[in-house]
Amino acid sequence: MDPRNPALLVPYFFFVISIFLVYGALVRRGTVAGKGILWWGAAFGLVAVIAVVLQNQRAGAPLPFVVLNGVMMAAAATFCVVFSYRQQRVVDLATFTLGDSKVIVRQCPPGKLPDADALLLPAVTTLRMLGGIIGPVGLAAGLEVEKAAAAQGPVGPEKVVETGPGKLAVGRIYHAAVNDPGKPADPGRLKRAMGHAALAARRAGAESVVVPVGFYGRLPASKMATAAAEGVLKQRRAFAEVVFVVLEARDAPQCLDAIRAVAEAEEPGATREKNSSSAPS
């Protein structure tokens, strides 16, 4: 059998892809976390590099190509590992003091949402947890949460539905209907819906709330964060702590700027206490 037969590339291709799929699943599930993301990533990357080098040698490729392909695979693996690590970090970007309330802007993955009495989450009117920021939160919470929410839908815009937390470390989840599935979200409606969710949490006695922010309903992260902050911070006096969670590292700068602007508009001179510090995971 000719070792240079292109058909022989297929097993190597699927083997390498499988390595990265397994690694990604372990990271998303939280099985591999913290510095373990780097160590496990290095191990998986090394296996991928060895597989590529062996395949090239078996195919009779010239030595420069063997080395080049190995280096390229090492570079790709390094990018994936560093990207995964950055996405899974828990970092407090800033903390503001508005009267007696502490407002925190935090970057963290859905599976590490902080402890709180309530999670305020925008939703489509069918209450299915798909797309934008609600999809990753739904995966972290577990299928039972989506089933419990969808069983109460569909609902009209700005209605709020309450469910249990599933696997998340929050007391309750308040799903605030904003838009129909596949339709763009209106910033004004998002603001009002999130305000209604905050009010529902307030009436239930919540003292701390978590609000995921990022891309939602075709709204860029900055506009979504602005609308959510405007709606929730109207109720801030009821809460000792409000944590806005940025789920994607790339959205952190614009979300932070948007929430800072809303906080300063709500209370001029709001104190910024922290920036880029590690947060408890």
Contacts 24+ apart (CB under 8 A), 45-53: 45/73, 45/74, 45/77, 45/78, 45/80, 45/81, 46/77, 47/19, 48/16, 48/19, 48/20, 48/73, 48/77, 49/73, 49/74, 49/77, 51/12, 51/15, 51/16, 51/19, 52/12, 52/16
240 or 130, which is more confident?
A: 240
Q: Is the pLDDT of residue 111 over 90?
A: no
Contact indicator for 106, 246 with CB cutoff of 8 Å: yes
pTM: 0.75
Q: What pLDDT is recorded for position 56?
A: 75
Residue 192 has pLDDT above 70, yes or no: yes
- The string of pLDDT tens digits covering residues 36-94 is 778 888 888 888 888 888 877 777 778 887 788 788 888 888 877 777 776 667 788 99
CA neighbours closer than 13 Å in the CB half-sphere of residue 80: 24
- Is residue 12 exposed (0-12), middle (13-18) or buried (19+ Cβ within 10 Å)? middle
Q: Are 214 and 221 in contact (CB under 8 A)?
A: yes
Given a contact cutoff of 8 angstroms between Cβ atoms, the answer to whether 66 and 206 are in contact is no
